[in-house]
Amino acid sequence: MKFIKEQIDLIKEKDPAITNTFEVFLYPCFKALIYYKISHYFYKKKHFVIARYISEKAKRKTGIEIHPGATIGKHLFIDHGTGVVIGETAVIGDNVTMFHGVTLGGTGKEKGKRHPTVGNNVFIGSGAKILGNIIIGDNVKIGANAVILRDVPDNVTVVGIPGKIVKVG
Amino acid sequence: MKFIKEQIDLIKEKDPAITNTFEVFLYPCFKALIYYKISHYFYKKKHFVIARYISEKAKRKTGIEIHPGATIGKHLFIDHGTGVVIGETAVIGDNVTMFHGVTLGGTGKEKGKRHPTVGNNVFIGSGAKILGNIIIGDNVKIGANAVILRDVPDNVTVVGIPGKIVKVG
Amino acid sequence: MKFIKEQIDLIKEKDPAITNTFEVFLYPCFKALIYYKISHYFYKKKHFVIARYISEKAKRKTGIEIHPGATIGKHLFIDHGTGVVIGETAVIGDNVTMFHGVTLGGTGKEKGKRHPTVGNNVFIGSGAKILGNIIIGDNVKIGANAVILRDVPDNVTVVGIPGKIVKVG
């Protein structure tokens, strides 16, 4: 219940378009993270098929695909959400904001830990693809449609294909 | 009813793959714009939760997310549509064509009018992200996966990240 | 039935996250290709509206939109799948892998054959847009969010907007 209250406060804080607490229950992000909590529970108990069934159902209902094995910190906010993909071995820190179309995925070349580790207070623009077992530092901003294939240090802004640092601090 | 007839004529004109009037009723664009008309009606009456409920339902059914507050001109054609996001304060002119994955969104830094204003006869390629309270001129073409963060003058073609003018007139 | 067995083997081979044969039935790719087989059957019999009805239903359920007229080789694997669009006159070779958000689409300028022809053993990263009646050679790799508007020779890697060759062989 604490999680639900936190989510409501978070969405009301983040989205300037919101007018009413009831609207929060319509947010795909809100639904997707509740589904994730449940699928992650079954995943940890090694009920992989049930876990995956729940995550696929969540994807159909919200457009957001979070693998049950992903590790997610506090206060993740996913705006809109259609096309978001978060891989099995992805790790997300606290206070991360991401938009629709963001991928934390693999390159198809790695085994084991093959998805990114994202720091705290990271902002990821719509359509950005972050691929491979790389580390994104704290307070990083990633531009829309950027493609990130290497580690990104703390406190920078990265844009383009492949992602280049355009601003520090 | 006039709107429905216009939409049917529009889709038949725009999509070379169409074979039959009945196919129009299967188009996500057709459904999404009818849902938008209804949600926009409730939005203007300040029934924000109902309006938002309808727009989220439309998104689940069509993949196209149009905020009930958006202002849309005549003859908008959205092809395919999955992942399209049109923000609350976006304004779209007449005869605009956009493909799936297009975003008319915010940068997260502005309040109030925080989404783009798009002119007439604009063509927006799949995956393009147009962000912030900027103005896109008339007869502009925007390439696939382009990221547009500044005003674009009339009669140009813009591509890349960030968008650059590659053709005038 | 042979097709279903092949698909099961393919998905188990391609996805490192899979743990169990039953999970295959949850894959959007698996469902989308079965729907495509049916819609393509009706398309060839010229029952275009039924064909399109089935493909739109498949899109709503899987996020993957394959036009019933598309021509698809053996062992196509579509990972995740949300936002994939494959046009009516697209042709796909054998052993092709593509991720979510990939488009084999048109430029809006051509009639007749207006979508790409993709060779064998091609790998297409998430969000890539391949547009127009162009030819993608065998063993080509296309990077995430790339935009491809011209022919690509065999055995190369192409990235960026517009796509440039960054690696040969």
Q: Please name the member of A22, A123, A159 whose beta carbon is closest to the beta carbon of B108.
A: A123
Phi and psi based region of residue C53 (left: phi greater than 0; alpha: psi -120 to 50; beta: remaining): alpha
Question: How large is the average pLDDT for residues A109-126?
Answer: 95
Reply yes or no on whether the pLDDT at B100 is more than 90.
yes
Record: contact B16-C67, CB cut-off 8 A: no
Residue A144: which of B129, B46, B70 has the closest Cα? B129
Nearest CA in chain B to C68: B17
Residue A109 is predicted with a pLDDT of 85
Give the nearest partner residue to C144 out of A53, A111, A131, using CB atoms: A131
Closest CB from B17, B23, B123 relative to C88: B17
Which segments of chain C have a pLDDT < 70?
1
CB C29 within 8 A of CB C77: yes
B77 Cβ neighbours under 8 A, 6+ residues apart: B10, B11, B14, B29, B96, B97, B98
Statement: residue A18 has pLDDT above 90: no
Tally A–B CB contacts below 8 A. Answer: 79
Of the listed ranges A18-27, A40-49, B134-143, the least confidently predicted one is A18-27
> How does pLDDT run across A55-90, given as a tens digit for each residue?
999 999 999 999 999 999 999 999 999 999 999 999
Query: How far, CA to CA in Å, does B30 sit from each of B67, B92, C88?
Result: 16, 17, 20
Residue A19 has pLDDT above 80, yes or no: no
Q: Which residues of B touch A20 (CB under 8 A)?
A: 48-49
Which residues in B lie closer than 8 A to residue C150 (C-beta atoms)? none
Instruction: Give CA–CA dist B149/C4, Å, rounded.
Output: 46
Checking ipTM against 0.90, whether it exceeds it is yes
Judging contacts by C-beta atoms under 8 Å, the chain B residues touching residue A122 are none
In terms of CA atoms, which chain C residue is nearest residue B147? C161
Chain A residues lying within 8 Å of C26, measured CB to CB:
49, 52-53, 56
pLDDT at A37 over 80: yes
Q: Which two tokens stand for residue C114?
A: 């207006």
Give contacts of C60 with chain B, Cβ < 8 Å. Answer: 61
Nearest to B23 among C49, C103, C131 (CB): C49
- Taking the whole predicted model, whether its pTM rises above 0.90 is answered as yes
Residues 6+ apart with CB under 8 A from B115: B70, B86, B87, B88, B89, B90, B91, B104, B105, B106, B132, B133
Mean per-residue pLDDT, B69-95: 96
Q: Which residue of C has its CA nearest to B19?
A: C48
Q: Do C80 and A69 touch (CB under 8 A)?
A: no
